[in-house]
Structure formats: C-alpha cells, structure tokens
Structure 1
Amino acid sequence: MKNLTKLFSASVMALTLLVATGCASTNKHEGTGEYVDDSVITTKVKAMLFDEPNLRSGQINVETFKGVVQLSGFVGTQADINKAVAIARTVKGVESVKNDMRLK
C-alpha cells in the first residue's frame, strides 16, 4: 500500500511539472498568462485609439507580443502616427511601441 501511495504521489508530481513547463513561455512563444496580458493591452490600446476623435482607428492595426505593441496600417498625416504611438505608450503594461504605420 505504501508503494502505491508513493507511485501515485510521484505520478501527480510528474504531471504537475509537465503541465507547468508546457505553459511556460519561450523567446518566440508566449505563456498562457502573457497571452492574456497581451490581449488586455491590445484591447486597451484599440479602445483608446477609437476614443480619439481625430484618428481613423479602423485603419490602424494593433498587435501585442510580450508587452511590445506593434501599430500598422495607413493614416493621413505624420501627426496621426505620432498621436497613435503616444496613445499606445500610455497604456499600462506596454514595454515599447513598434511603429509600422504608413502615410497614405
């Protein structure tokens, strides 16, 4: 009976370690928690861009990976690009902003 208990405990421990390492992040892949955090950041940036009356936010794409926000799309002026980047930088959790927006 003791051997069965030890075997069960060892199995549970091994399974726990496998699950924990499966959810860990790597350089190119996010862990589960990071994915959720990045989704929240993306949503907040999109909402703030949408609330800005002078920006056509529907033409600005927002993606986030490990806290780095990438803005892409087409805007009318350099001032629009600067405004979008400034807005993205104000969101909590943003590590940096990569600007790939282009002028029409």
Structure 2
Amino acid sequence: MTISKSGLAALLLVGLLAACGGSPSKESTGEYIDDTALTAKVKAAFVKDDEVKAANIKVETFKGTVQLSGFADSRAEIDRAVRTASQVPGVKAVTNDIRLKQ
C-alpha cells in the first residue's frame, strides 16, 4: 500500500488535531490557555482586594473550575476570596480548599 504525500499530510493533520483535544481528565490546548488566563484574572482580583491576602492563596484552574488553597486569617477572608473568584468572568465554579490559620 502506497500513501501519497497529500494522504500522508492528511493523516498527520488528523493526528495533530486529535492530540490537541481534551478529555474528562485532560485539557485541550485551548482549554489550557483559557484556564491560564482565568488563573491570572483571579490572582489579579485578589491583589486588588484589600481583604484577601493574595500571597497566601494558591489558585489553580481546570476546565473553568477554580480551586483555591492556602491559608487565611479569618472566615471572612475565606468567604471573600471565594466570592471574588466566583465573580471573575469565565469562572464556572470555585472549589474552596482554603484553611483557617490556627
């Protein structure tokens, strides 16, 4: 069986496009870029907010769901961080793993 140059190019293109696709446990290339931008927007919102200590809260995003972790000085700070993150355009959900400092 002989494959022409155009047939080979088509097969390579299909393979590349399939590699860029996402799955339930893996982001597509576009989703990764979108999530990176969301993470940056949430962090920027924390920096602008005087009630949230941005340096103490880690932000990770997967398929539009933002996960917050780290430590806060008060329950009010935790609530404010969750509320602030959820108000960023594009955020689908917020998972709160922020712990209260003892």
Which interval holds the TM-score relative to the shorter structure?
over 0.9
Unaligned stretches of 5+ residues in structure 1: none
Q: CA deviation at 1:28?
A: 1.1
**In structure 2, what residue type is equivalent to 1:77?**
S
Q: CA deviation at 1:21?
A: 0.1
Specify which of 94, 98, 102 is matched with residue 95 of structure 2.
98
State the secondary structure of the residue aligned to 1:93.
Answer: coil
Specify which of 34, 39, 58 is matched with residue 37 of structure 1.
34
Q: C-alpha distance in 2, partners of 1:22/1:56?
A: 39
Q: Which residue of structure 2 lines up, in the alignment, with residue 60 of structure 1?
A: 57
Q: Percent identity between the aligned chains?
A: 42
State the secondary structure of the residue aligned to 1:27.
Answer: coil
Specify which of 23, 29, 32 is matched with residue 26 of structure 1.
23
**In structure 1, what residue type is equivalent to 2:98?**
M
**In structure 2, what residue type is equivalent to 1:82?**
D
- TM-score normalized by the length of structure 2: 0.93
Larger C-alpha radius of gyration, 1 or 2? 1
Is residue 35–residue 62 contact of structure 2 (8 Å, CA) maintained in 1? yes
- TM-score normalized by the length of structure 1: 0.92
Q: Which residue of structure 2 lines up, in the alignment, with residue 74 of structure 1?
A: 71
Q: How many residues align structurally?
A: 100
**In structure 2, what residue type is equivalent to 1:46?**
K
Q: C-alpha distance in 2, partners of 1:14/1:34?
A: 24
Q: Which stretch shifts more, 36-45 or 20-29?
A: 20-29
